[in-house]
Amino acid sequence: MGTIFNIQKFSINDGPGIRTTVFMKGCPLNCLWCHNPESKSRKTEIFFDARKCVGCRSCEVCPYGCHVFTDTEHIFNREKCIACGKCAAECYTDALELVGTEKSVEEIIAEVMKDEAFYENSGGGMTLSGGEPMFQFNFTYELLKRAKENGLHTCIETCGFAKWEQYEKIADLVDIFLFDYKETDPGKHKEFTGVTNELILENLKKLDEKGCKTVLRCPIIPGLNDTDEHFTGIAKTANSLRNVLEINVEPYHPLGKGKSEMLGKEYFSDDLSFADDNAVKEWIEKISSQTEITVKKA
């Protein structure tokens, strides 16, 4: 069994063709800008969107008394919550939502295979994302193995921070690694994500030496890593490898802020908004000027 928080059908941004993307919970990194903060913990959690609450008090079904109402406010006591989901099941406005469910390999593959015809016609397949799929390695391995037994094209979106032995074990089961490249400077990488990038770059190099196809996925966050040094680092890293299919620039968006609030967590910035189109164009041009590999917006 594994813990997932979404299965997204008809995905067109997570690999070639029409795909089904399985989002898995748990991640070893703590990126400041994380747009899926509900994926960081392996545990099931509860979203609470106070804007949707109409004060019906149906959530008082909670056996632990996590929901308290005043004349003006609905207070959710997360310290008592064990994420049993009873409150979310009763909430008809979806102000409360259970995030994370346990699924078997068989259940997920059965859901993915419902769209087999679309994969065949478009060259698509199954993509594993998260979170970090390698965080639930045994589950990820079995999913990829079963997908291949069913003739599916497979991609995995990964931050690169896992044991090489694990990447080596799945290498022949993955058609394309969507490999994150978040920051060139090791010190800044640790500041932004909680870990340095030495292991990540080592794994990327070893995958390339094995002939594994990769797409470098580069989140660019204004004021953090939108630097000429980083753009040069992206190009140099790609140029040093033999099997990079393309470089994807992933412009910052603030959608993680709202999700963080619904989880009762702080977000790193209140000021940033969607990246400016002209800035994105400039980022792409700066990287493209230093490499012959295709660079495009993800």
Domain range list for the chain:
2-42+101-297, 45-99
pLDDT at 110 over 90: yes
pLDDT of residue 189: 97
| DSSP structure string for 170-224 | HGGG-SEEEEE---SSHHHHHHHHSS-SHHHHHHHHHHHHTT--EEEEEEE-TTT
* Residue 127 and residue 21 in contact, taking contact as beta carbons nearer than 8 Å: yes
Would you give the distance in Å from CA 78 to the centre of its chain? 24
Amino acid at 91: C
Q: Phi and psi at residue 149, in whole multiples of 5°?
A: -65, -25
160-205 pLDDT, tens digit each? 999 999 999 999 999 999 999 999 999 999 999 999 999 999 999 9
Do 2-42+101-297 and 45-99 show the same overall fold?
A: no
Q: Does domain 45-99 match CATH 3.40.50.300? A: no
The answer to whether the pTM exceeds 0.75 is: yes
pLDDT of residue 270: 85
pLDDT at 125 over 90: yes
Beta-strand ranges (E) seen in 92-175 are: 96-99, 101-103, 125-129, 153-158
Topology of 2-42+101-297 in CATH? TIM Barrel (3.20.20)
